[in-house]
Amino acid sequence: MQEPSLPRKQPPATPATGTVVCLLADLPDGGGRVFSFGPEDDPFRLILLRSGDQVIAWHNRCPHFGQPLALKDEWLILKPHTTLSCNVHYARFRWNDGVCESGDCEGESLTGVPVTVRDGQVLIV
Ligand code: FES
């Protein structure tokens, strides 16, 4: 007999197109920052990474246990322009494509969030 399955919790929605996340100047080159949107008890969490004028955004949710990779800017574990690692069990993800290259979720990926830089601002698109 099959066990009844529990309903899967849906992730909170991505912020709307056009939402300004921050100024490009607020992101250090080779560094990153974390942001949250929506209700405090169930926010949408975002990580921005900057390489020169390029900004990459990842949903701040580890594919291993679904935990945030980092809750504070100063807790981000980065190798500039190369990798970021999860604070929980230290899975390491490639900077550019979000693929886990080492750790408990090797081969899985972070979820990308489309962003652009316009007039010095980083926006959700
Ligand atoms: S929750 Fe991120 S590596 Fe386990």
| Every domain of the chain and the residues it spans | 27-124
Q: To test ligand 1's pocket by mutation, which of 60, 88, 92, 102 has the most ligand atoms within 8 angstroms of CB?
A: 88
Q: How far apart, in whole angstroms, are the C-alpha atoms of residue 20 and residue 117?
A: 10
- Does residue 67 line the site of ligand 1, with CB under 6 A? yes
Residue nearest to atom 4 of ligand 1 (CA): 89
Classify domain 27-124 at the CATH topology level: Rieske Iron-sulfur Protein (2.102.10)
- Does residue 89 line the site of ligand 1, with CB under 6 A? yes
pLDDT tens string 65-109? 999 999 999 999 999 999 999 999 999 999 999 999 999 999 999
- Taking residues 45-63, report their average pLDDT: 97
Burial of 99 (0-12, 13-18, 19+ CB in 10 A): middle
Helix H or strand E encompassing 47: strand 44-51
Instruction: Name the pLDDT band for 1 (thresholds 50, 70, 90).
Output: very low
